[in-house]
Amino acid sequence: MRFELGNALTARSGYETVRIEPWGRDALRVRATVNKKFSGAEKGLDLPPVTQAVCGQTESGAYIQNGKLRCVVHRNGYLTFYEGERVLLKEYSRDFSGANEHSPSMKLAAREYKPHGSDYEIALRFEAQEEKLFGMGQYQQPNFDLKGCILELAQRNSQISIPFVLSSRGYGFLLNHPGVGEAVFGANFTQWRELSSDEIDYWVAAGSPKEIIERYTEVTGRAPEFPENALGLWQSKLRYRTQEEVLSVAREYKRRGVPLDVIVIDFFHWVRQGDWAFDRTYWPDVRAMTDELHEMGVRCMVSVWPTVDKKSVNYGPMRERGLLVRTERGAPQCFDFQGDTVIYDATDPEARAYLWSCVKKNYFDKGVDCFWLDEAEPEYAAYDFDHFRYAAGPVVKTGNLYPREHVKGFYEGLKAAGRTDIVNLTRSAWVGSQKYAALVWSGDICSNFQTLRDQLAAGLNIGIAGIPWWTTDTGGFFGDVTAKGFSELLVRWFEFSVFSPVLRLHGDRGPHDIPNLTDLDFGGGFSPTGRPNEIWSYGGETEAILKRFVGIRRGLKDHLKKAFREASEKGYPVMRTLFFEFPEDGRAWEVGDEYMLGSELLVAPVLYEGQTARSVYLPRGEWEDFFTGKKYVGGDYTVDAPLDTIPVFRRR
């Protein structure tokens, strides 16, 4: 093992080169390759603040220290990370070059490279430890603590892969690779697999949860300031089919005295996918519509899909210029939902510019304020990742970049057009999406209490992964308003959403018994619509509760502004795990059915059908009931939670 020391530590042995360098405060970036040189790509990382590391050499190897974090490269080539004398993370070795106390005859290395075309399939392994793990984006499962989970590193509808994990041992780890793979947080070892890569690349930081998230977002980016005019109610449904429907809903909110911040126009307001323009039959005067909405204080959001129908006006020009996703075999098709479509290539700057030019002309210049980037994974008819290729490279090697580059194009376009209050809704994300004003929602999910419980784990973990702007389809997406218990579910979900980063009412409300506006198989009247989904659509007690909670949301504005400001300035989640605020409290690392909204409010949503009371854990300190002012000290309580109440406590 040969070492080179400076403000970085390079270790060479045989064909492999390992480079370890400071990358932000209390953090190190590690790269390893068996090629002649590193790729030079930053991937998810921005250039870091300049820090000075300390390097040295000993009889047993070499080390590099940056602030709290020290990495030792042993003579056998294996790495161990320390904070002080405490081991944070240690590579797994079961071969003859590793530590002899562990079955060397297994011939299992910590860093493994197997040929994959011109690249490698890579495995990176670490010793198992007593720890709890959080982050990794958003997975549709109830697991709050991810220890013991196997997670696919790939984007799917309602699954968001962001390969950053925070450990209860006091470290954060980012696999800085945008390709498809797998993370296994096993009881015997941790393994990261990359199906296709030219190098190993990861980043490690040491500290408390707040310190780690600060360090992580320093080198991956932070969200801009959240627009104050989007902190209230967002109204959406599947789908408003005409401009008169949109205006009638906004007018009714105004008549009823219910403040509305955003109204959303969903898919198939166009003639063909990829036209990126309104169908004038149903939207004859978009500027007049947006002008009236603005007079009422309502922002207009429009859904933009990345799909391009082969009959679209833009398919020919984009195919000729090579701006579409390539298929590796067979016919050029990516998605077959209500059309024969190919997806535009968001990793190509020219393709992003082409799409934005259409969007600016047909939407933004007509008064549309913000955009809903649906299908942003992108969604494929089948997730055969080895079948598609981007300008950035094969999807198996680069695919997880897509949602970040997609929202980047809209953010930069809006910014160049002079917009400052930018927020775009998107269904997927990757490392750094937050810096492009990405409001991520949890995808097309079912309407039931189990799914509601899954969203709590999803929202807390995606916040740890660096995405502070997050929301759900309140009430779930796939739902039947006539189903037993739907109104109860909607109320409980709405209460949760009021005390979440963004309050957005959306869903495909069945049964689907509303006739289409046309018998044609294209155009703005072709696609079905769901039942009404406004707060008055449900009548009686449900309507009264929803209206009351819209008012409660308005009263939270100052608190929300503070939480969003901390997200912008420090990278903190808006919706936070208890341990984020109380890291010394062991119970706080275990509670996954409560959360902090900002630093002051503890929220304990009702997550089970028929439940009218629930147990609550309050960390050490003084608390008061948000609604009644009743005083509490830290401890375990059972509190009443009738249908019109969500348990919320203010930290004193």
Peptide bond into 511 cis (omega under 30): yes
Peptide bond into 227 cis (omega under 30): no
Instruction: Please give the radius of gyration of the chain, using alpha carbons only, rounded to the nearest integer.
Output: 25
The CB-side HSE value for 636 (13 A sphere, CA atoms) comes to: 4
Q: Which of 26, 374, 473, 581 is catalytic?
A: 374
**Alpha-carbon distance values, 147 to 104, 131, 133, 157, 188 (Å):** 26, 8, 5, 23, 11
Give Cα 159 distance to the centre of its chain. Answer: 9
Q: Which of 292, 377, 454, 534 is catalytic?
A: 377
- Is 444 a residue of the active site? yes
CA dist 511 and 300 (Å) reads 27
CB 481 within 8 A of CB 505: no
Query: Looking at the chain, how many residues does it have?
Result: 652
- Is 374 a residue of the active site? yes
**Residues facing 638 on adjacent strands:** 615
Q: Map tokens 């670490």 to a residue.
A: 126
CA dist 558 and 556 (Å) reads 6
SS (H, E, C) 362-420: HCHHHCCCEEEECCCCCCCCCCCHHHEEECCEEHHHHHHHHHHHHHHHHHHHHHHCCCC
Query: Could you count the other beta carbons within 10 Å of the beta carbon of residue 37?
Result: 9
**Alpha-carbon distance values, 28 to 21, 24, 127, 190, 511 (Å):** 5, 7, 19, 19, 54
Q: Which of 16, 42, 127, 444 is catalytic?
A: 444
Q: CA-based angle 190:196:201, to the nearest 5?
A: 55
CB 210 within 8 A of CB 237: no
Give Cα 389 distance to the centre of its chain. Answer: 23
Catalytic residue numbers?
374, 377, 444
